[in-house]
Structure 1
Amino acid sequence: MADLPVVVVGAGPVGLAAAAELVERGLPPLVLERAARPGAAVAEWHHVRLFSSWSELVAPAADRLLTGVGWERPAGSAYPTGAEWATGYLRPLARALGDRVRLGVEVVGVARRGRDRVVDDGRDTEPLTVHVRQADGAEERITARAVIDASGTWGTPNPLGGDGLPALGEHAASGWISYRVPDLTDDAVRVRYAGRHVVIAGSGHSALTALVAFADLAERAPETRVTWLLRRGAVADTFGGGAADQLPARGALGLRAKSAVDAGRISVVTGFRTERIDGRDLVSDNGQRVSEVDEVVVLTGFRPDLTWLSELRLDLDATLQAPVALAPLIDPNVHSCGTVYPHGVKELAHPEPNVYLAGMKSYGRAPTFLAMTGYEQVRSIVAALAGDREAAERVELVLPETGVCGGAGVFDDSAADQSGGCCGAPAEPQPLSLSARC
């Protein structure tokens, strides 16, 4: 199987980093991307400034590959926007990888060749088959020696409902519900929200991003009302580590959100788990009601799409839907400081040989993901595929801390949108930030 490609699903930051690692190791990569361009998810929040600097956003192997083709690395201390990350790094990286990246190709299934999930025989010797659908509807089967799923979770946001399912009436109200931080720098988008009652649901970095943006809008359009719904019973440490955060821009985001709340520009409703939408009212499971709502911005996290992996034997944690060995390191019911021990192939392996979830998808429903965590993951995975076990098990990363640590129960499910330092820094004059799914 040595001549077969390693299929990488997703041409985002972690998927392209995996391809660069494979090229450096002399293994043939094939990156399959559903969208028409690389970094498509990043492009959806093009207006947002990251709270990781360039020095933390360029994968080492990608840096070496790009340097070899004359790329000039941006200043390491600068904080790019999503658009700058995509145009200044992701797209040049995809061009450098050339025809190893295929766009407009959707992966709809992965299986062991000739074997469904139940069959034992041949699972250690047969290659994988990747079932894809092209943009014109044509189907194709690609034989692969290994699959690295770096497709992320951006396409599957969590619903408004407090039990993880859509609230009653949520689908019918979809015309006035958004599951992304709106781009209030766009005139048409700003007009939609200005002067209206906007409810923001969620407690992670994406929610803090929205609070800062809408507080600014409320200053410019005083008739705008902003209500913040928290599932937890108190604001507590929702604003993060502040000045103690080792990612300074991430800490600044929390401080700016806290300032807006303290100034009275945002009304806070705690202990609110949405059960149903009644007309223009949101109603919680304990009977609380937020009335006369014009727009809802739901920022309650993301979840992995596992449907097209159903014929593979994955060992996933029952709570987080992350690899079992990784789950204890990232469980938000235990960890509140965002400190995750760097990990690699050992924690990401599954019973299915040569199948790995990497990047944000490896975290399942857990928060606080850093781009450089994904880069370390794929470095280790590719080293293992190349037979370099020593390199695969070596740790080559030190992660920053948020500076706020706590015990079990600090986070509930509403914190699942805290994707951490992948991106999302407030930067003047740009008032927005976002936790992206890489």
Structure 2
Amino acid sequence: MSTNASTLPVAVIGAGPVGMAAAAQLATRNMPFVVLEAGDTVAASVAQWAHVRLFSPWRYNTDPAARALLETTGWTAPDPQQLPTGGDLVSQYLAPLAAHPAIAPHIRYGATVSAIARQGFDKVRTTGREHAPFLIRLADDTELLARAVIDASGTWRHPNPVGGNGLAAHGEAEARANGRVFDGMPDVLGVLRPHFVGKNVAVIGAGHSATGTVLALAELAADTTVHWVVRAPDPSRAYGGGAADALPARGSIGSAVKALVEQGKVTVHTGFFAHEITGDAVVSTDGEKVAADVIVNATGARPDHTAATELRLDLDPILGSTRALAPLIDPNQHSCGTVPPHGADELAHPEAGFFIVGAKSYGRAPTFLLATGYEQTRSVVAAIDGDWEAARNVQLELPETGVCSTNADTAESSCCGPTPDVKRGLATGVQGGLISLPLVTIGGPASSGDGCCS
């Protein structure tokens, strides 16, 4: 018996900031939906970096539709100029949004998506495919049907390997099993402190996750030795725009790390491509050794499309984004700030009704901004609703950084906002926001960085 797909809900995968923005947009348009969150709480991945203070203030970190919904409940918006932590983002914004009566009944926690297909169709069969509902299978073997699918599951749980050639370094699996490798932005000043005090620590990566961790490690006991390992021939790009950055906390990151390097408190190893992890060191492809009792892998993350193997996706062979989006976000040509606004048209796949939004939409490009994700969801939801005029009216306003390199290499590009020329080409009206990842400044907490640019 056939199912009328138009009466089914839109399935949103992931209840992080972008997934919840999609939920808010759907609720605003009175469209039936379900949010499938693998974790036990809203924004379970954000909770893993709750200790991090963002470098972007509140005004860049909330979605307009979500704010409008919350204001109907008497919610008081945080001070727009204050810098929240990841924990603040959850407790003061995402948790209240998840509890909103227009959204709460539609969230399913502990719902891990294992596969997505078209009901009654495998990948090969074409005729009538676009009219069939999506069949979503969960890890517990239960299934549900959906009119459309918005994948906002992100890349946080799929970190890049330590190895400099895109593969795991020799010995990496064993080092991970022994608890020597920490991905992303570990809480080195908090619950994980005992793992780092008094150790030789190698931080691998040149994005804000790496520099933020370097700054935090510098606050530990004097007998903690910090090695900063980067693939670039020099670390200058990681120092950023300094005082020219429109977000002062972000600009201070590079300045503070540069000072530590110049003072000899952090040792930089440049042109280093990790090849092997031994019992006490990381070894490069040319044989250089860096003492490492513990390794922080801050090389970014990558998308996992395993669940969608029965769908017809048009993925760029290099980045893993849609083929249409790839030239707009290619880190070999673009920084965060030179990525133009884009929406449903650029995010569409041959599988009608399936969209990937948020960090995962960028594949392996480290140029994603949270504000971009919010605007993606607004455009995509409008398209699913048949409102193509709104879907194609993509608007975005982002803060400048004071530095925009277009000579990015690997996943270690510097985090940038619009250059003056690019910014003139952006329509204003939708408030932008950075996905800011962890950073701690000398003398106190501060900001973060990979979600802006890994």
Pair 1:431-2:445 in alignment: yes
Equivalent residues in 2 for 1:383-402 (5 A)?
383-402=382-401
Residue 196 of structure 1 corresponds to which residue in structure 2?
A: 199
Q: TM-score, normalised by structure 1?
A: 0.93
Q: From the superposition, tell whether residues 351 and 417 of structure 1 become closer, same or farther in structure 2 (CA, over 3 Å).
A: farther
Q: Aligned letter for 2:449?
A: S
- Give the 3-state SS of the residue equivalent to 2:236 in structure 1: coil
Asked if the contact 1:302–1:416 (Cα under 8 Å) also holds between the matched residues in 2, the reply is: no
Whole-Å separation in 1 of the counterparts to 2:414 and 2:319: 13
1:142 to 138, 144, 158: 144
Q: From the superposition, tell whether residues 235 and 416 of structure 1 become closer, same or farther in structure 2 (CA, over 3 Å).
A: closer
Q: Aligned letter for 1:30?
A: V
Report the Cα offset of residue 150 of structure 1.
0.1
- Give the 3-state SS of the residue equivalent to 1:124 in structure 2: helix
Whole-Å separation in 1 of the counterparts to 2:181 and 2:443: 27
Q: From the superposition, tell whether residues 437 and 202 of structure 1 become closer, same or farther in structure 2 (CA, over 3 Å).
A: same
Pair 1:179-2:183 in alignment: yes
1:109 to 111, 115, 126: 115
Whole-Å separation in 1 of the counterparts to 2:281 and 2:62: 45
Equivalent residues in 2 for 1:245-256 (5 A)?
245-256=245-256
Identity of aligned residues (%): 48
Report the Cα offset of residue 417 of structure 1.
9.4
1:14 to 14, 18, 21: 18
- Give the 3-state SS of the residue equivalent to 1:108 in structure 2: strand
Q: TM-score, normalised by structure 2?
A: 0.90
Report the Cα offset of residue 432 of structure 1.
5.1
Report the Cα offset of residue 189 of structure 1.
2.2
Q: From the superposition, tell whether residues 406 and 429 of structure 1 become closer, same or farther in structure 2 (CA, over 3 Å).
A: closer
- Give the 3-state SS of the residue equivalent to 1:148 in structure 2: strand
C-alpha offsets along residues 167-207 of structure 1, whole Å, 9 cap, x if unaligned? 01011111211113221332x52232112111110011100
Q: From the superposition, tell whether residues 427 and 289 of structure 1 become closer, same or farther in structure 2 (CA, over 3 Å).
A: closer
Residue 131 of structure 2 corresponds to which residue in structure 1?
A: 125
Whole-Å separation in 1 of the counterparts to 2:395 and 2:152: 20
Q: Aligned letter for 1:128?
A: F
Q: Aligned letter for 1:262?
A: E
2:88 to 65, 84, 87: 84
Q: Aligned letter for 1:27?
A: M
Pair 1:411-2:392 in alignment: no
Structure 2 unaligned regions, length at least 5: 418-433
- Give the 3-state SS of the residue equivalent to 1:83 in structure 2: helix
C-alpha offsets along residues 264-306 of structure 1, whole Å, 9 cap, x if unaligned? 1100111111111233122111121223x21111100100111
Report the Cα offset of residue 428 of structure 1.
7.8
C-alpha offsets along residues 220-242 of structure 1, whole Å, 9 cap, x if unaligned? x2221111111111223221122
Q: From the superposition, tell whether residues 215 and 427 of structure 1 become closer, same or farther in structure 2 (CA, over 3 Å).
A: closer
Whole-Å separation in 2 of the counterparts to 1:55 and 1:338: 18
Report the Cα offset of residue 395 of structure 1.
2.0
Equivalent residues in 2 for 1:130-279 (5 A)?
130-133=136-139, 137=140, 139-174=141-176, 175-186=179-190, 188-217=191-220, 221-279=221-279
1:56 to 56, 60, 76: 60
Whole-Å separation in 1 of the counterparts to 2:395 and 2:75: 24
Aligned-residue CA RMSD (Å)? 1.8
Pair 1:24-2:38 in alignment: no
Asked if the contact 1:230–1:268 (Cα under 8 Å) also holds between the matched residues in 2, the reply is: yes
Q: Aligned letter for 1:111?
A: A
Report the Cα offset of residue 320 of structure 1.
0.8
Structure 1 unaligned regions, length at least 5: none
C-alpha offsets along residues 305-324 of structure 1, whole Å, 9 cap, x if unaligned? 11001111111111111111
Q: Aligned letter for 2:6?
A: A
**Number of residues paired by the alignment?**
427
